[in-house]
Amino acid sequence: MKNSFAVLAQKLMRTFKEVIKANALSIQKVVDFNKNSDKLLPLDFTSANTELTDEILDKTDLFSAWVNQKLADNDARYGIGGYNEHRTIYSRSAHFNTGEEPRRLHLGVDVWGPAETSIYNFYDAKVHSFANNNNFGDYGATIILAYNMEGFEFYALYGHLSLASLNGLEEGKVIGAGKKIAELGVKEENGYWPPHLHFQLVLDIKDLKGDYPGVCKFSERDKYLANCPDPNLILKYSFY
């Protein structure tokens, strides 16, 4: 059973990558960015980053100041990274510490930038669901869009948005490619994080609405990564 599941997952992932590649010219931006003039700064949130002390992580304002200083020092428009990253920063929130094994493996890509940064839809979609996941350390305002690309259905989760981004939404609403869909939220609206976008792809969202795990247990890594492809397939930030 396990082997058959793995084969099925690999086949699904291969099909997804082929569909994305075939439609690459139709995929539009998620954030404003000019790769010829703007710079992305990879940010490491694993145990290798010894600059992030418990004192900094415990206070969102200090954490935000650290991110902002990193971007300023490196003349970068955004911080970037996090897919398949085993992070220590989630120790700041009890939301990730339930059960015997805490959740630490990140399943999306984070784009770190100022609050009110505009977020765009990269391809024609429908609103699948939305919610305000307002636990400390959670997504805060969240939008999930459903996509159908050459008959292949998948989803994208946009987390840590402003509450105003949820206004006027309804399930099934059509949103065209290139349309602005949201803005990054301040800490009080985004789960008490430094402003950033959590962007995650999901192949099978099951019966979940307005939420999907963005962080999993390391022991469940293979299962979740098989269902959550690398968002850089869409972002196209392979040059960072």
Specify the pLDDT at position 10.
Answer: 76
Domain ranges of the chain: 2-235
Residue 171: partners with Cβ closer than 8 Å, 6 or more residues away: 127, 128, 129
Question: Over the chain, what is the mean pLDDT?
Answer: 91
List, in sequence order, every residue forming a beta bridge with 79; answer none if it has no partner. Answer: 41, 112
| 105-140: b (≥16 Cβ within 10 Å) or e | bbbbbbbbbbbebebbbbbbbebbbbbbbbeebbbb
Specify the range with the lowest mean pLDDT, choosing from 125-129, 144-148, 215-219. 215-219
Interatomic CA distance for residues 44 and 143, integer angstroms: 25
pLDDT, average across residues 130-139: 94
Asked whether the whole model's pTM tops 0.85, one would answer: yes
Please check whether residue 113 is in contact with residue 77, taking contact to mean a CB–CB distance below 8 angstroms: yes
List, for residues 194-215, the tens digit of each pLDDT value.
999 999 999 999 999 999 999 9
Q: What is the pLDDT of residue 207?
A: 96
Q: Is the pLDDT of residue 34 over 70?
A: yes
What the block records as the tokens of 81 is 């990274």
Residue 120 pLDDT: 98
The class that CATH gives domain 2-235 is mainly beta
**86 — phi, psi (to 5°)?**
-85, 105
Nearest CA to 124 out of 10, 28, 223 is that of 28
pLDDT tens for residues 62-97?
999 999 999 999 999 999 999 999 887 766 556 566
CA distances from 120 to 68, 179, 187 (A): 22, 6, 21
Question: Each residue of 90-109: pLDDT tens digit?
Answer: 665 565 666 677 878 999 99
Band of residue 2 on the pLDDT scale cut at 50, 70, 90: low
Asked if 122 contacts 29 with a C-beta cutoff of 8 angstroms, the reply is: yes
